[in-house]
Structure 1
Amino acid sequence: MKKTIFKALSKLNKLVLPSYTKKRLDLSKATKLQLLIFGWKLYVTKNALD
């Protein structure tokens, strides 16, 4: 159940949120909002794969 929710969130993230890895964002120069989005996507991806 938990895994399916995170898989759905992952697909939603892919559609809505920007991809900073494709934009080659330097994390040391990222804003707080960019770091928050990056962390959220990482958290969702980690839980979707478990």
Structure 2
Amino acid sequence: MFKILAKINRWLLPSYTRQQLDLSKATKLQKAIIAWKYFVTTRALGQKTSGE
């Protein structure tokens, strides 16, 4: 589930790395988006595939 959600995030949510966003100047919404993407990405990477 998290792998699919991570792919959706890549399409829908902005990439602040490409925009070179300074975290000290980020708004609360931008920080919330960063936190959400981090949460989903770490869960997707930790998820085991059905074949293992």
| TM-score under structure 2 length normalisation | 0.87
* Runs of 4+ off more than 2 Å: none
Match of residue 45 from structure 1: 41
Distance 2:31 2:13 in 1: 12
Unaligned runs of 5+ in 2: 47-52
1:12 is matched with which residue: 8, 11, 14? 8
Unaligned runs of 5+ in 1: none
Q: Share of identical aligned residues, percent?
A: 59
Bigger Rg, which one:
2
Greater helix content: 1
Distance 1:36 1:19 in 2: 13
